[in-house]
Amino acid sequence: MKFLGVDIGGTNIDMVIYDKTFKHFATYPTSEYIEKLNEILKKIIKKEKIDAIGIGAAVWIKNGKIVNAPNLPSIPDFGDVPIILDNDANCFALFAYKTFAFENLLAITIGTGIGSGIIINGKIYRGNGLAGEMGHLFVGGNKKCGCGGIGHLECYFGGKAMKEKYGKEAKELLKDDFIYSTEEFNLFCRVVSNAVALISPLAVVFGGRIGMNLNEERLKEGIYAYLPPLFDPEIKVVKDSLAVAKGACLMAMSKL
C-alpha cells in the first residue's frame, strides 16, 4: 500500500509518501496553498495511486471536528477527500514513539508556535480531545494569543512570538546560541519542567523547525534547573523536518 503524509504547519505544508520507505514529496508555503489543499490532494491521489492519507495539522480537534487553528491563516477544508486527521503534535509524538520506543513520553514541537503530544503506555493520550496544548498554558501578562486567550506561552516563545519581539527569523534565533540567552527560552523550560512533574514521562522529545535545531544538553540544563529531585526524563531531539508528515503516514497506516 502507498501512503501520503501531510504536515500542515503555520509556515509550511510538508508532504511525504511512504511506499516501503519514506520519500519527501513536496513542501508548500502554507499561506499560499492552504486554500488549494483539496484540489492538490485529489491530483496526488490520482497521479501517485495513494491508498490512504494521514494529515497532521496545527489545529485543535474535538469530537472529530476542527474547532480552532490559532497558527493557520484559515481552517483547512478537505472537501470529499478521504483523510485520517490528527493534531500535528500527536503525529510527531507517534513518530517519536516509533523512533525511540519510550512507552511514556512528552513530545514537543517548536516552530511557528508550540505543540505537544503525549504518549502513555504506548498510545496517544487525547483526554477530552485537546490534551497536550502546552503552547496555550497561561504563563502571565496580557498579550493576546492567536487562540483568543491571553498570556499564553505561545505569546512569548515560538517562531512567531520571538520574531515579533526580536525581529529575527528562526535561523537567526538559533545563530550563535542567541535563543538560549533569552528570557523566553527560560520561561519555556519552566513550563516544560511543570509538564514533566505532572505526567513523569520517561523522555521529552523535541522537534519542529526550531525544536529540531536545539541542543539536547542546553535543553536538559534549562529544564532540569526547575525539576524537583528524582525526576530524570531523557531529553531527545529529532533532527528531521519531516517528522510530523512521517508521523501522519504512520497514523494512516495504524488506522488500516
Q: Does residue 204 have a pLDDT over 90?
A: yes
The CB density around residue 250, as the number of other CB atoms within 10 Å, is: 21
Residues 64 and 179 in one domain: no
**pLDDT tens, 156-185?**
999 999 999 999 998 899 999 999 999 999
Q: Pairing relation of β-strands 65-68 and 105-110?
A: unpaired
Residues 53 and 117 in one domain: no
**pLDDT tens, 212-241?**
999 999 999 999 999 999 999 999 999 999
Any idea what the CATH number is for the domain that residue 25 is in? Answer: 3.30.420.40
Distance CA 79, CA 38 (A): 6
Distance CA 193, CA 226 (A): 6
Residues 124 and 147 in one domain: yes
Q: Does residue 10 have a pLDDT over 90?
A: yes
Q: Does residue 109 have a pLDDT over 90?
A: yes
How far, rounded to the nearest angstrom, does the alpha carbon of residue 69 sit from its chain's CA centroid? 13
Residues 96 and 200 in one domain: yes
For residue 64, the model assigns a pLDDT of 87
CB 125 within 8 A of CB 131: yes
**pLDDT tens, 25-39?**
999 999 999 999 999
Q: Does residue 255 have a pLDDT over 90?
A: no
Residues 121 and 207 in one domain: yes
Residues 75 and 173 in one domain: no
Domains held by the chain: number: 2
Q: Which domain holds residue 29?
A: 3-88+243-255
For residue 127, the model assigns a pLDDT of 94
Residues 117 and 84 in one domain: no
Residues 75 and 202 in one domain: no
Residues 151 and 72 in one domain: no
CB 112 within 8 A of CB 131: no
Mean pLDDT of all residues in 143-151: 96
